Structure 1
Amino acid sequence: MTRLDTARIRVARQRIDPAFLDTPLYRCEALERDLGCAVSIKLETANPVRSFKARGTEVVASALADSRASAVVCASAGNLGQALAWSGRGRGLDVTVVASRFAPAAKLDRIRALDARLELVDGDIETARDRAAAIARHDGIRLVEDSLDLETCEGAATIGLELVDAVPAFDAVLIALGGGALATGVGHVLKECAPGVEVICVQPLGAPAMTRSWHQRRVISTDSTDTIADGVAGRFPIPAVLNDLLLVADDAVLVQEASIIAGMRMLFERAGLIVEPSAALGVAAILEDPDRFAGRHVVTVVCGSNVDAASYRRWIGAES
């Protein structure tokens, strides 16, 4: 059985600041000639933290405020930290974010600007998770664990509620796959409310742990990651999240770095969108397997746009 519940997701929607709800969903004809299929974009960057993550942190922070909690800590590759800082600041919570010192500077700077305490660690997101857990134990405060905590999954799932109301209907949705909150949340709602829609998860070839786990139906970890898509670069899938994913994903695919960059460039040149690498995974999947999507109507969730300017210019070849 899944951990997620659609009735609870509908209740969660009432706890989320409207600034993060009803994000744009539109047919992007400018992409279609190159991609060979009808493409709609669900633009999860059109909000104060420029990613979908605040849908989950709003649910977390609202519940913490109701319980009169005063502090919270999380590990983050950047976007969850920004979101928790934003949601916590508005509810009087003392927010600590642990991140890798190698995380994109733009994400780290924004966390600081949102008044969170930022602690940097050597190593990757898994090292940051260990440190955040230690802080939570020492200080006796709530640890927010992205994808493991149901609030993060069910907050993200509110995107699915918005997709099922879309007119016209679509054939498939492409979802970036990292820890799994976005994929399991949106996938759960679609499979319950629009079961004919194909749910396809997309992950970089250089960070394949969750995709390999989905295919083998058991947790497969990796020793390292090698991808520019930092937001989905986990190494240790969470068993409970994998169980949820197995119930809702129709497929999980891996894409190459060159395709991610090509997707970022296409979204910029054709759609006028500046996105981080994780947000281009859906377009990358179409580029790598156009025959699969030919003649279909596909939605891709553009999940974040927090990217360092210098790195972005280098990747897409823009003038500095």
Structure 2
Amino acid sequence: MQETRLDTARIRAARQAIDPVFLDTPLYRCEALEPGLGCAVSVKLETANPVRSFKGRGTELVASLLAGDGRNAVVCASAGNLGQALAWSGRARGLDVTVVASRSAPAAKLERIRAFGARLELVDGDFDLARERAAALARQEGIRLVEDSLDIETCEGAATIGLELADAAPTFDAVLIALGGGAMATGVGHVLKELAPGVEVICVQPLGAPAMTFSWRRRRVVTTDSTDTIADGVAGRRPIPAVLDDLLVVADDAVLVREESIIAGMRLLLEHAGLVAEPSAALGIAAILEDRDRFAGRHVVTIVCGGNVDLDAYHRWIGAAPAHRS
């Protein structure tokens, strides 16, 4: 395999630094989903932890290294889930955590960031403007800036999901991974390409936030002026060049899905798996709904990567969109 920034030995070692509460999340075949999707579907449930998303795997690495270096202050930009995870990991290690987020981020995510003890600064703009503000704060205050997907710890923490998938039995044919900044896609993809090279690594993004997918397809960074999707967790406009380089090595495909398919996927996960999934976590199901022929007869794993939703919005979405039927 071509080189990426990631290292499998470091990823294996990372498990020792990550609180076990984030590790070995449930992986199971969900037969109730299969009649509507036309393929065997297994769910990797990354919401079964205190921050209800996979992000805690990476922030545990970041926080443990900071605490080991004697540094006690850190800032990040977040669409919501990274901020919660960094606040949780930092609180456990006595770190002073600042999170910069968009004022339009889901209220439930912002409330949880505060509840975990972080200082929250809101900006009038999107996630990429929050990234700019977090970088400015880091320079002004001389503190560590955590950049999701750029910081290798966030990728290698997420990559521990790949170790768990590679050890799974029975084996599977493809994994569907939500694509935003790229930490989970590059991390899981790196491990599978090394340990389970027969598994197809498929990244999924909304049509309304296509920058990383466009970049993967054109093999160069492509930015967009805006985003328009309910999947706030993956709604970035400016891909990070180093992350794209890794993605080009490990991803077999990157696909875009419509908003109605995302909502239908959320409803299927609720109705047939009993799972409350945020829009980003339903991207894998949406990809199957939009291309049943591609996955027919195959065993597919989808990573349900987050379950932090604004309940009022969630009920509007679920009530407005009937699930796809076979």
Fold conserved between structures, TM > 0.5: yes
Structure 2: which 5+ residue stretches go unaligned?
321-326
Structure 1: which 5+ residue stretches go unaligned?
none
CA distance in 1, matches of 2:305, 2:147: 19
AA paired with 2:10?
R
The count of corresponding residues between Structure 1 and Structure 2 is: 318
SS in 2 for 1:183: helix
1:216 to 204, 218, 225: 218
2:20 to 11, 18, 22: 18
Report the equivalent of 1:156.
158
* Mapping of residues 1-320 of structure 1, within 5 Å: 1-317=3-319
Q: How far 1:12 sits from its partner (Å)?
A: 1.0
SS in 2 for 1:317: helix
How much is the aligned-residue C-alpha RMSD, in angstroms? 0.6
AA paired with 2:315?
R
Cα deviation 1:53-103 (Å, max 9, x = unaligned): 000000000000000111000000000000000000000000000000000
CA distance in 1, matches of 2:194, 2:59: 24
CA distance in 2, matches of 1:14, 1:125: 31
Cα deviation 1:246-292 (Å, max 9, x = unaligned): 00000000000000000000000011000100000000000000000
SS in 1 for 2:229: coil
AA paired with 1:6?
T
Q: How far 1:13 sits from its partner (Å)?
A: 1.3
Cα deviation 1:133-174 (Å, max 9, x = unaligned): 011001110000000000000000000000000000000000
Which aligned segments of 4 or more residues in structure 1 are displaced greater than 6 angstroms? Answer: none
CA distance in 2, matches of 1:290, 1:77: 31
CA distance in 1, matches of 2:257, 2:194: 28
SS in 2 for 1:178: coil
AA paired with 1:111?
I
CA distance in 2, matches of 1:248, 1:129: 26
Report the equivalent of 2:323.
none
Cα deviation 1:21-63 (Å, max 9, x = unaligned): 0000000000000000000000000000000000000000000
Q: Percent identity?
A: 82
AA paired with 1:311?
A
CA distance in 2, matches of 1:185, 1:70: 27
CA distance in 2, matches of 1:84, 1:53: 8
CA distance in 2, matches of 1:274, 1:317: 14
